[in-house]
A and B are shown apart, each in its own frame.
Chain A
């Protein structure tokens, strides 16, 4: 065997390569560590508290009962209600805006301004969205004289959802081949028909993926809700509940984690567990849909 061809550990090139590889692997490990730790810590701490009553009972005000803090039923329901309100506001506006950018805007200064604005909006700290709705909706009592309400909470979250939805709709539509649009036009479809029957259905999955990611982000937000939806120890009552403060998982965690009572702290862990599972599920669903899209290409 030719001795020159044999791998030599001790030469400079191979030593440096080994060192750099080791450093890269170590840092990768350090990066992943907090992620895994947070996830497992919450899952274990929260998982311990899991029982059926959690879903059916109301939380008890701190200090009333030192042994139990009740459940988080109204907070789970509240998170779902507020996120739904936010989706109802943000999805039509966001998808509509995305359609405008991708299909109607001709790359002029107006569309550039909107794209730029969307990017800025996606970087806005969520607390700003909360303060904005607090200043315009809550403190002015502009909606039927109600101040803190699930409606205001939904509005604050919708501000955070908008940029993601606009961007994914815009980009999803841009991925649709121009040949399809031309094909539709050449069988006599108007632009509107082309968009509703051909381009939108073709871009359906990337758009839904974007919406799911936006919903997942909104569902986990705390800051905008503290200023707008506040919190409640009761079940939402009928249609009036839209105009009244409402509980949510994230605000419940914020409130109860800082309490000096062990029972409340444990409830906060349980709420964290449920919230993480919810977000994980939404993200996995989005990933799954995205994968389907790529395979179809």
Chain B
């Protein structure tokens, strides 16, 4: 247990959903994030903010092993979920992703019917209950039921962008994960759809741990309980490369109200980024 991390005390141990312990992630030879210690609280919404290239999406993808898909992505250090190191060689990434779902920047419904979009994940996860009920429940939780209840057999791709994104959230809920990761889920959407997704997140946070990457600081302020501010610093490799690091992590109120670091304050007030 490394006690040197200042954020260790913020969350008591049994309330930790995911714990990063001295994690460094690199693509090829380039480090994207270094020496990260970070505990994500259970049952809360945590926002990851920071300028481009600070490694926040990399951190997010590391949590459900989606970095595995990127060739020559290397990860050092340990990431704990319920007492297991997610990068232990005995861990099955498929099982990890069944417990830690993800919603992407671009809505990506399957080219199947709305009903099948939800049922697919549930079925491959061995769900044997009433599928109709599950579909309805998941769509309701994602606040998109009213818009698709009459066209469950239509293709998921026929919905609007915002509805597609909520369908993707519903699809993730249907596999009953512990944690939902969201990678800038609203960046491709209009303000009204964004508002609906935010309402959905509000609904969801009673039952799930949510970790969301966002470029929109007002959004981070509106929806999150905790905020992690990442920054990037130059490395002396002669190529102008940058490496991301965690600058500050605290309750959202504190980060936006009285940040401890000047750099955080500068970023939040829009002086750079």
- Which A residues lie at the B interface, using CB under 8 A? 106, 177, 179-180, 182-190, 193, 197-198, 201-202
Contacts and interface: CB of A to CB of B under 8 A. Distances in A.
Contacts of A183: 104, 108-110, 168, 171
A178 to B, nearest CB: 8
- Give chain A's interface secondary structure class: helix
Given A182-B66, A182-B69, A183-B168, A189 B108 contact: no
A182 B181 CA distance: 13
Contact of B124 (A179, A180, A188): A188
Given A186-B64, A188-B94, A177 B71 contact: no
Contacts of B97: 185-188
Contacts of A186: 64, 66, 97, 101-102, 104, 172
Contacts of A189: 94, 120-121, 124
Given A106-B71, A197-B120, A187 B108 contact: no
Interface of B: 64, 66, 69, 71, 94-95, 97-98, 101-102, 104, 106, 108-112, 120-121, 124-125, 168, 171-172, 174-175
Given A179-B106, A186-B97, A186-B101, A202 B111 contact: yes
B66 A177 contact: no
A189 B175 CA distance: 11
A184 B101 CA distance: 10
Contacts of B111: 180, 201-202
A188 B110 contact: no
Contacts of A190: 94
Contacts of B171: 183, 187
Contacts of B172: 186-187
B124 A187 contact: yes
Contacts of B175: 187-188
Contacts of A202: 111
A29 to B, nearest CB: 43
A193 B104 contact: no
The 10 tightest CB contacts between A and B, nearest first, are A187-B121, A188-B98, A179-B108, A186-B102, A183-B108, A190-B94, A188-B97, A187-B175, A188-B125, A202-B111
Contacts of A197: 120, 124
Contacts of B168: 183
Nearest to A177: B108
14 contacts: A179-B106, A180-B108, A182-B102, A183-B171, A184-B120, A186-B64, A186-B97, A186-B101, A186-B104, A187-B97, A187-B101, A187-B121, A188-B121, A188-B125
Contacts of A187: 97-98, 101, 120-121, 124-125, 171-172, 174-175
A185 B174 CA distance: 14
Contacts of A179: 104, 106, 108
Given A182-B69, A183-B108, A185-B66, 4 more contacts: A180-B111, A185-B69, A185-B97, A187-B121
Contacts of B94: 185, 188-190
B159 to A, nearest CB: 15
A183 B108 CA distance: 7
A97 B104 CA distance: 30
Contacts of B125: 187-188
Choose among A106, A183, A185, A201 the residue with the greatest number of B CB atoms under 10 Å from its CB.
A183
A193 B71 CA distance: 21
B71 A180 contact: no
Nearest to B92: A190
Contacts of B124: 187-189, 193, 197
Contacts of B104: 179, 182-183, 186
A106 B69 CA distance: 11
Contacts of B102: 182, 186
Nearest to A296: B111
A39 to B, nearest CB: 38
Contacts of A184: 110, 120
A105 to B, nearest CB: 12
Choose among B71, B94, B109 the residue with the greatest number of A CB atoms under 10 Å from its CB.
B94
Nearest to B102: A186
A180 B64 contact: no
A125 to B, nearest CB: 38
A182 B71 CA distance: 15
A182 B68 CA distance: 11
Given A187-B120, A187-B124, A190-B94, A182 B108 contact: yes
Nearest to A106: B71
Contacts of B174: 187
Contacts of A193: 124
A64 B137 CA distance: 78
A92 B121 CA distance: 27
Contacts of B66: 182, 185-186
A191 to B, nearest CB: 8
B110 A198 contact: yes
Contacts of A177: 108
Nearest to A181: B69
A263 to B, nearest CB: 55
B9 to A, nearest CB: 33
A180 B124 CA distance: 16
A186 B253 CA distance: 31
